[in-house]
Chain A
């Protein structure tokens, strides 16, 4: 069975501080990993995915298959980064199945 764990429900940092949102997964194959973000009163939207290996809004995430982790990082947090962040896994790459498995989310609060 596949599982995504986000151990922190809330992460509070000051503006300009580094941010790391943790995500660990359990899956035996080759997953596709995503970070989705939900800003206040907005819909869930994709932030980034590991196969594109890009940086969005200053955020990066590296898939570590040895540690089964996909932590989200940003060197200098901004107040507008305050939101709910969800890590998600897809088994698509090796099973063809498309259901996303989400973690329970981490709320990031960036204080001024």
Chain B
């Protein structure tokens, strides 16, 4: 499978614990995005990387959230001191840098986080 992959697919944690998710984009894509999706809602943008540079951050990305893409390939999203409100599906997407490609983004399967 050459699509976007995410690990783990499911994570259950206790309130106050830290969690880290990984995203591997499609190999030739230099842009990587994180979104969060709660029940009954569409995905909400969190942050975006072009190569290793973090170029956009949503106000949703509180100081407990941090994302990295140190070598411009895979990315990690860490949530510190998790709260029950963090329970959601965390989606990763990637897109190529091609003229005329517009902003089509390719999504991974998501990591479902449950905070008890």
Indicate whether A and B interact: yes
| Residue ranges of A at the interface with B (Cβ–Cβ < 8 Å) | 4, 9, 32, 34, 36, 43-46, 49, 51-52, 86, 88, 90, 92-93, 97-105
Across the interface, do B104 and A34 meet the contact criterion of CB distance under 8 Å? yes
Could you say which residues of chain A place their CB within 8 Å of the CB of B41? Answer: 104-105
Measured in the bound complex, the distance between the Cα atoms of B102 and A90 in whole Å is 9
Measured in the bound complex, the distance between the Cα atoms of B56 and A93 in whole Å is 16
Across the interface, do B45 and A99 meet the contact criterion of CB distance under 8 Å? yes
Across the interface, do A98 and B48 meet the contact criterion of CB distance under 8 Å? yes
Known: A44-B91, A86-B42. A100 touches B105 (CB 8 A): yes
Across the interface, do A51 and B102 meet the contact criterion of CB distance under 8 Å? yes
| Residue ranges of B at the interface with A (Cβ–Cβ < 8 Å) | 3-4, 31, 33, 35, 40-45, 48, 55-56, 58, 91, 95, 102-110
Across the interface, do B103 and A98 meet the contact criterion of CB distance under 8 Å? yes
Across the interface, do B102 and A98 meet the contact criterion of CB distance under 8 Å? no
Across the interface, do A98 and B56 meet the contact criterion of CB distance under 8 Å? yes
Across the interface, do A99 and B56 meet the contact criterion of CB distance under 8 Å? yes
Across the interface, do A100 and B102 meet the contact criterion of CB distance under 8 Å? no
Cβ-defined partner of A32 (8 Å) among B33, B35, B40, B103: B103
B26 to chain A, nearest CB (A): 12
Across the interface, do A104 and B102 meet the contact criterion of CB distance under 8 Å? no
Could you say which residues of chain A place their CB within 8 Å of the CB of B109? Answer: 43
Identify 7 new A-B residue pairs, CB closer than 8 A, beyond the known A32-B102, A43-B109, A86-B42: A34-B103, A46-B104, A90-B103, A92-B103, A93-B102, A98-B103, A100-B35
The contact sample of 30 A-B pairs, CB cut-off 8 A, is A9-B40, A34-B103, A34-B104, A43-B107, A43-B110, A44-B43, A44-B91, A44-B107, A45-B106, A46-B104, A52-B102, A86-B42, A86-B43, A90-B102, A90-B103, A92-B102, A93-B102, A98-B33, A98-B48, A98-B56, A98-B103, A99-B45, A99-B56, A100-B45, A100-B103, A102-B42, A103-B42, A104-B40, A104-B42, A105-B42
